[in-house]
Structure 1
Amino acid sequence: MKTSILNKLAFRSIFSHKQLYFPFLLAVSLLFSLEYILLSLMQNEYVLEFHPDLKIFVGMGIFFSTLLMVIISLYTSNFIQKNQTKEFGLYTVLGLEKKHIRWITFVQMLFNWIVTSIFSVVIGYLTGNLMFVGLNRLMKDTGAGLMDYPFQIQTALGIVALLLGTFLVSFIFHSIKISRLNPTELFVSAHKGQREPKGNWLVTVLGLATLGSGYYIALTTNDVLGSLMNIFIAIFLIVIGTYLLFLSLSIFILKALQKNKRIYYKKNNFLSISGMLHRMNNNAVSLASIAILCSGIILVLGLTTTLYRVMETQIASSMPTDYTVQSFLFDKEEDETYLINLENELEKRGQLEDAYLHSSVNTNGYFVDRKLIPLTTGSSVNETLNTSQSVVLIGETVDTYNEMQDETLTLSENEVAITSNLLDLEDFSTIEINGKEMQTKVVSNEAIPAEYGIEVLYLAFPDENQLEEFRIAFENYMGPNGDYAPSAYQYVLNFNIAENEDEIQNYLNERQEEDPIRVTTIEETSQNLYTLYGGLLFIGVIVSVVLIVGIILMLYFKQITEGHQDRENYRIMKQVGLEKSMIEKTIQSQIVWVFGLPLAVAVLHNLFVSKIVYTLVGLFGVRDLSIFGTSYFGVLVIFAAVYWIFYKLTSRTYYRIINE
């Protein structure tokens, strides 16, 4: 057969299935335009020069988004090809061979590749300009402009190559499928009869067990480091459980409703339950996938929004003044003397405000049964400490605490002020520190800098002598040989500059080059945090957009598929005399349940994992539950509204098909 005829058949098939092809081509173009933006940021000279740390987060975004984009593209491409099965079956009846059908699909693949390549690069570059400027605004960098986002040939070629690889994989899978089917199967496979759906108790029990295990891990994990590992285990179990329960438990519930005569044999329920039974049997996997995608969007956006909102609090906590200078002479008297002399030198060059010297002891220990045990002791009896937990210990005097927190706290000789960023100490009245029992006064955890992510126990002692005893007792790990040594004092000079800031900055830069000190400014800290969390929020938005596009495609194609499957059924309902209002009510109730169920499951998943997620964000110093809760609730409300809008838009396609 002439190639020209096959080419015409290929393009005629595309335009006859425009309801499928055009949304597919638009969605794939949008997805890979986002890929263009991410790849271009990895090679952008402005980003590499001014925000080098951003490259790490962009790389993470590229990995996850590319994986999702390829999966979504292959899924939707396979969906379109499946809907062409009847058409290809007709071609075989008319005399076309399998090699001709493969050529038709190859031409369609080339068309898809060319169209999506052009639109992906063009849309990616145009929207990339705006997103590049928006990203820099998130990072509080107002110096970036459109000229800093040039067109990149190598990035465009990378997108074209990635699209070609994706479509080639789809073409290979479809070719294998065609070669395994005979002409009769090709013609009738699109209209195979539906068997009576059956549930499987083993699958149901396994689904409940895996889902329950995932929920249990999410609810019982209390430490930050444990949450970092356990959250992946919990998510994996929840995903598996979701698929298994959608496949089986939904069938059992609907069949139980069928057997209940008082419920099933009501005119409003009879058609709805029967229809839902077959819908769940046919669409359990896709509905479970939508539920997982919805859960992922809420989780990612809720997490990144929370981190972005707490930045100002973290900046204020880690930098109580505009400047800090830390000495690394590792000798108490030398560090203290050096910083006092430095403060005097700075006063000669300008005017300082709110200047004070802050000393502390930072070490580690075991915390078990309200007892603090040194590492040297705990390591030798660790086998008996079944509930022990390694914690960071910060020790100060009560005078330092009062100066830092602007308080007037007083402590007797046998008292210690105590607080923690993540441990619950509200009911603590006593604590044993290296064998010595002391009364406690629980204070605000604002005494702990926000940059501490793991469990920290803060202790304020009555005087310098007790702090020195604590420092000597709680030796820290030193060196590769496993030797322990008393922890060193950390001396930090905090201050603001009222006059001659440039001269003082120049002097500090000179001292930092010559002496073992570190100068930190609030401007540097702010820029680093905005780069970190602004980049995370940007990547979270990109990944969420990819997931949303995937959900929209699945919703849209589900409506088309079910519309064609149900059209004949509803035509028969009309012929047997069912009222139009009853038919429409049945349709509406089924659609609401089918598309409302994934969202409800997503909300349930996020409610159960919210505890472990809140514990996890403790790695970033997030300790404000109200910000975490409002961020998640806000994301949930906005996403539910967006989901409902696209549900309404895609359901119009369904109604239009069944009324044809």
Structure 2
Amino acid sequence: MKFSMARKFAFQNLKANRILEIPFVLSSGIMLMLFNIMISLINNKYVQTRHKTLPELITMGAVVVGIFTIIFVMYTTNFLLKKRNKEFALYAILGLEKKHIRKIISIEFFVLFSIIAILGMVGGYIFGQISFLGLNRLMHDVTGRIMDYPFSITAMIVCSITMLGLYFITIARSSYRIYMTTPVQLLGKQHSGEGEPKSRFVLTIIGLAALCGGYGIALTTEGTLSALVNFFIASLLVIAATYLLFISFSIIILKMQRRRKSYFKPEKFLGVSGLLYRMKSNAVSLASIAVMSVGIIITLSATATIYSNIQKNGDSFIAFSRDYILTSDTAVYENNFKDIQKNLENRVSQTVTGKAKIKDSFIELSMNPAVAKKGNSIETYTRDAKTSPYFMFTYDLASYNKKLNKNISLKDDEVLMTSNRKGALNMSSLKIGDRTFKVREIDNKILSSANVDSYALVVKDLSTMQYIASVLKTYNIQNKTMENSSIKCSIEWNVSGINKNSYDRSLSKLKNDNGYTLESRVEVLKGLYELNGGFLFLGVLIGIIFLTGTILVIYYKQISEGYEDREKYQIMKKIGLNDDLIKKTGASQIVWMLYAPLMVAIVHCMVASKIVYQLLKMFGVNQFTQYGTYFGLVIGVFFVIYFVIFKMTSRTYYKIVK
């Protein structure tokens, strides 16, 4: 066969199969576009020079997007090839050789992948500029401009290689399918999977066990660090359970429906029997929709909560009661405290021309060992401890009074105490070593920015702090021994009568001093907005990926069912089945095709909300209502979008059937 004839066949096929191929091109183009945007941002000089953590975040996101792009393209091409088995068989029957069919397919997919590549690269550049400006806005960076987002040659090469690789994989799969099967087998595969599935009770039991295990972990996990480990275990169990139960338990329910008297009504009979005979393939699609829906809801609600929390609390970041903090790396003892304090004060005074420009300065002593709580006793945390660790942020009373403008006094056996976790502070006395302190509870202000389960302890003086440091020891990684916790000394201050921008630049000398650590409120907030703005940006992109995949699966599921039902309904029409009954039959399947995956996804998300909230505490989210608000909002919006998608695809299904 000449190339011109093969090309003619290919373009005729593209036109004839546009109802299948247009969604494939659009969805794959969107995914490649997002992948292109992320690769462009990773290699963008502005992003690399202005932001420290953002390139790493985007790299992780690019890996996720790349994997899902490959998965969905492979899924879609497999669907396209399967739906054309009958066409390939007819080609062979009409006398075309297998190499001729392969040539036609190669031209078709070359055209499709070329269009996808063009959409991904052109759309990636155009929407990449919008994404670049939006990302900078999320991070409160107002200096970024469109000219700082040039066309990325690297992104173009990576995307081209990705599409080229997927093209050759698709051609190899289609060639294998054609060369290893006969026309009769291809015709048979068009209707494969229609045998009535068996009731798989073993899979149901395994699925229920996995579901109970995943739910149990999600509901019983306490503590941020424990949630970080258990979340992935629970996710894997629930994902496995979702697929197993859709495959097995749904069959059992459908077979139970056949025992009811209402089953013999025409619309009920057609709906249930149709689903039952195709449930093997439908179950996987429904489970995939449910899993991707969970990903959309959790990703968007969590990232929106994280960002809104910074928006709400960023300007009152209480850990920085002053604009600047300089900390000495030297451990503090009774004999060197005065020297360390004097060195800190001298270094700060040298940053200005007159000492009067230094305002509201004070010296602070602090330490933060990991501890375990047992009743009213606090002990050193060890790996074999049966409770989750807490960090004990310990401060001296003088700095606490200065920080919050208080005038509190303490006796030798008294401490001030609070926690960033509700219900964690339920003691009137505190035992540390051989000493018992009377606890005076204070408001949770000095821990408002703590991202892990923590206590805050304010003690009378340095001697009390040294005693606690000798009891609550810290593991030394280098020496692999338990040592007294290290007490650090820092100075916090503001400035007045001086330009803040020029002063920040003049602090570069302090930043380079060995043995000292300088932090500023502006830089910390910038880092927080960068980190959380990056998370929100990635959350939106990954949410779009999941949503695109969900739309794709729903659409092809409806198309697949339409083609499978068309012949059956044409036969039923000949024996008197009317169009109204066809619509009623389609409506009876909504419970399975629409509400079943969506309701399963919502239940999964509601159960996961507890462990997700534990993880959000790492980002300073300390009120469940913050997460609950966005959780409910995302579910509401997603339900509307999901319903609209289903109604639109249902019209296509009905047109095919009719």
- Give, in whole Å, the separation in 2 of the partners of 1:291 and 1:232: 17
Query: Which residue in the other structure is 1:175 paired with?
Result: 175
Query: Which residue in the other structure is 1:165 paired with?
Result: 165
- Give, in whole Å, the separation in 2 of the partners of 1:653 and 1:268: 20
| TM-score (norm: length of structure 1) | 0.92
Alignment match of 1:490 (pick from 483, 488, 491)? 488
- Give, in whole Å, the separation in 2 of the partners of 1:209 and 1:19: 41
SS in 2 for 1:317: coil
Which has the higher mean CA deviation after the structures are superposed, 534-543 or 357-366?
A: 357-366
| Contact 2:196–2:276 (Cα < 8 Å) also in 1 | no
Query: Which residue in the other structure is 1:185 paired with?
Result: 185
Structure 2 residue runs of 5 or longer lacking an equivalent are none
- Give, in whole Å, the separation in 1 of the partners of 2:616 and 2:580: 51
SS in 1 for 2:125: helix
1:583 Cα deviation from its structure 2 partner: 3.4
- Give, in whole Å, the separation in 2 of the partners of 1:137 and 1:506: 24
**Counterpart code for 1:393:** M
| Compared CA separation, residues 373 and 426, structure 1 to 2 (3 A) | closer
- Give, in whole Å, the separation in 2 of the partners of 1:68 and 1:515: 45
**Counterpart code for 1:324:** I
Query: Which residue in the other structure is 2:608 paired with?
Result: 609
Which has the higher mean CA deviation after the structures are superposed, 427-436 or 548-557?
A: 427-436
**Counterpart code for 2:649:** T
- Give, in whole Å, the separation in 1 of the partners of 2:433 and 2:24: 66
| Compared CA separation, residues 510 and 192, structure 1 to 2 (3 A) | closer
| Contact 1:350–1:500 (Cα < 8 Å) also in 2 | no
Please give the residue correspondences for 1:431-470 in structure 2 after superposition, counting only pairs within 5 Å.
Answer: 431-448=430-447, 450=449, 452-470=450-468
Query: Which residue in the other structure is 2:134 paired with?
Result: 134
- Give, in whole Å, the separation in 2 of the partners of 1:622 and 1:192: 51
- Give, in whole Å, the separation in 2 of the partners of 1:409 and 1:578: 85
- Does residue 333 of structure 1 match 2:338? yes
| Compared CA separation, residues 333 and 581, structure 1 to 2 (3 A) | same
SS in 1 for 2:589: helix
- Give, in whole Å, the separation in 1 of the partners of 2:191 and 2:387: 63
Query: Which residue in the other structure is 1:653 paired with?
Result: 652
**Counterpart code for 1:652:** R
Which has the higher mean CA deviation after the structures are superposed, 92-101 or 587-596?
A: 587-596
| Contact 1:552–1:646 (Cα < 8 Å) also in 2 | yes
Query: Which residue in the other structure is 2:145 paired with?
Result: 145
| Compared CA separation, residues 283 and 460, structure 1 to 2 (3 A) | same
1:290 Cα deviation from its structure 2 partner: 1.0
1:57 Cα deviation from its structure 2 partner: 0.8
- Give, in whole Å, the separation in 1 of the partners of 2:512 and 2:182: 78
- Does residue 323 of structure 1 match 2:324? yes
Query: Which residue in the other structure is 2:587 paired with?
Result: 588
SS in 2 for 1:119: helix
Please give the residue correspondences for 1:15-34 in structure 2 after superposition, counting only pairs within 5 Å.
Answer: 15-34=15-34
Please give the residue correspondences for 1:197-216 in structure 2 after superposition, counting only pairs within 5 Å.
Answer: 197-216=197-216
| Compared CA separation, residues 510 and 154, structure 1 to 2 (3 A) | closer
- Give, in whole Å, the separation in 1 of the partners of 2:387 and 2:204: 38
Please give the residue correspondences for 1:292-311 in structure 2 after superposition, counting only pairs within 5 Å.
Answer: 292-311=291-310
SS in 2 for 1:532: helix
- Give, in whole Å, the separation in 1 of the partners of 2:477 and 2:590: 65
Please tell me the root mean square deviation across aligned C-alpha atoms, in Å.
Answer: 2.6
| Compared CA separation, residues 480 and 423, structure 1 to 2 (3 A) | farther
SS in 2 for 1:310: helix
1:555-590 CA-partner distances (Å, limit 9, x unpaired): 111111111222233344444445544432231231
| Compared CA separation, residues 419 and 193, structure 1 to 2 (3 A) | closer
Query: Which residue in the other structure is 2:92 paired with?
Result: 92
Query: Which residue in the other structure is 2:569 paired with?
Result: 570
| Contact 2:309–2:621 (Cα < 8 Å) also in 1 | yes
| Contact 2:193–2:281 (Cα < 8 Å) also in 1 | no
| Contact 2:432–2:471 (Cα < 8 Å) also in 1 | no
Which has the higher mean CA deviation after the structures are superposed, 237-246 or 297-306?
A: 297-306
Query: Which residue in the other structure is 1:118 paired with?
Result: 118
- Give, in whole Å, the separation in 2 of the partners of 1:470 and 1:10: 79
**Counterpart code for 1:282:** S
Which has the higher mean CA deviation after the structures are superposed, 38-47 or 398-407?
A: 398-407
1:262-303 CA-partner distances (Å, limit 9, x unpaired): x43456644433334335343100111111111111121122
| Compared CA separation, residues 85 and 512, structure 1 to 2 (3 A) | closer
| Compared CA separation, residues 272 and 54, structure 1 to 2 (3 A) | same
Please give the residue correspondences for 1:2-13 in structure 2 after superposition, counting only pairs within 5 Å.
Answer: 2-13=2-13
**Counterpart code for 1:47:** V
Which has the higher mean CA deviation after the structures are superposed, 166-175 or 466-475?
A: 466-475
1:69 Cα deviation from its structure 2 partner: 0.2
| Contact 1:352–1:497 (Cα < 8 Å) also in 2 | yes
1:360 Cα deviation from its structure 2 partner: 2.2
1:296-327 CA-partner distances (Å, limit 9, x unpaired): 11121122112211224256133233222223
Which has the higher mean CA deviation after the structures are superposed, 482-491 or 527-536?
A: 482-491
**Counterpart code for 1:125:** Y
- Give, in whole Å, the separation in 2 of the partners of 1:413 and 1:282: 72
1:248 Cα deviation from its structure 2 partner: 0.6
1:38-82 CA-partner distances (Å, limit 9, x unpaired): 111111111111113211011101111100000100110111111
SS in 2 for 1:476: strand
| Contact 2:369–2:474 (Cα < 8 Å) also in 1 | yes
Which has the higher mean CA deviation after the structures are superposed, 75-84 or 570-579?
A: 570-579
| Contact 1:290–1:554 (Cα < 8 Å) also in 2 | yes
Query: Which residue in the other structure is 1:287 paired with?
Result: 286
1:648 Cα deviation from its structure 2 partner: 2.0
- Give, in whole Å, the separation in 2 of the partners of 1:485 and 1:151: 54
Q: Identity over the aligned pairs, expressed in percent?
A: 33
- Give, in whole Å, the separation in 2 of the partners of 1:542 and 1:420: 35
| Compared CA separation, residues 627 and 476, structure 1 to 2 (3 A) | same
Query: Which residue in the other structure is 2:370 paired with?
Result: 364
- Give, in whole Å, the separation in 2 of the partners of 1:126 and 1:350: 53
| Contact 2:28–2:73 (Cα < 8 Å) also in 1 | yes
SS in 2 for 1:446: coil
| Compared CA separation, residues 409 and 14, structure 1 to 2 (3 A) | same
- Give, in whole Å, the separation in 2 of the partners of 1:405 and 1:277: 68
| Contact 2:267–2:588 (Cα < 8 Å) also in 1 | no
- Give, in whole Å, the separation in 1 of the partners of 2:154 and 2:395: 56
SS in 1 for 2:370: strand
| Contact 1:77–1:170 (Cα < 8 Å) also in 2 | yes
1:407-427 CA-partner distances (Å, limit 9, x unpaired): 566655544332223473243
1:160 Cα deviation from its structure 2 partner: 1.1
| Compared CA separation, residues 622 and 431, structure 1 to 2 (3 A) | same
Query: Which residue in the other structure is 1:223 paired with?
Result: 223
SS in 2 for 1:546: helix
1:631 Cα deviation from its structure 2 partner: 2.1
| Compared CA separation, residues 81 and 268, structure 1 to 2 (3 A) | closer
Query: Which residue in the other structure is 2:525 paired with?
Result: 526
| Contact 1:368–1:389 (Cα < 8 Å) also in 2 | no
1:358 Cα deviation from its structure 2 partner: 2.8
| Contact 1:314–1:621 (Cα < 8 Å) also in 2 | no
1:500-519 CA-partner distances (Å, limit 9, x unpaired): 23575466444454574333
- Give, in whole Å, the separation in 2 of the partners of 1:584 and 1:372: 67
1:316-353 CA-partner distances (Å, limit 9, x unpaired): 13323322222334332223233445566659355455
| Compared CA separation, residues 569 and 439, structure 1 to 2 (3 A) | farther
| Compared CA separation, residues 654 and 350, structure 1 to 2 (3 A) | farther
- Give, in whole Å, the separation in 2 of the partners of 1:13 and 1:576: 33
- Give, in whole Å, the separation in 1 of the partners of 2:47 and 2:25: 31
| Compared CA separation, residues 248 and 540, structure 1 to 2 (3 A) | same
1:139 Cα deviation from its structure 2 partner: 1.1
1:183-223 CA-partner distances (Å, limit 9, x unpaired): 11223431358322322000100111111111111112212
| Contact 2:416–2:440 (Cα < 8 Å) also in 1 | yes
- Give, in whole Å, the separation in 1 of the partners of 2:67 and 2:83: 25
Query: Which residue in the other structure is 1:598 paired with?
Result: 597
- Give, in whole Å, the separation in 2 of the partners of 1:505 and 1:584: 70
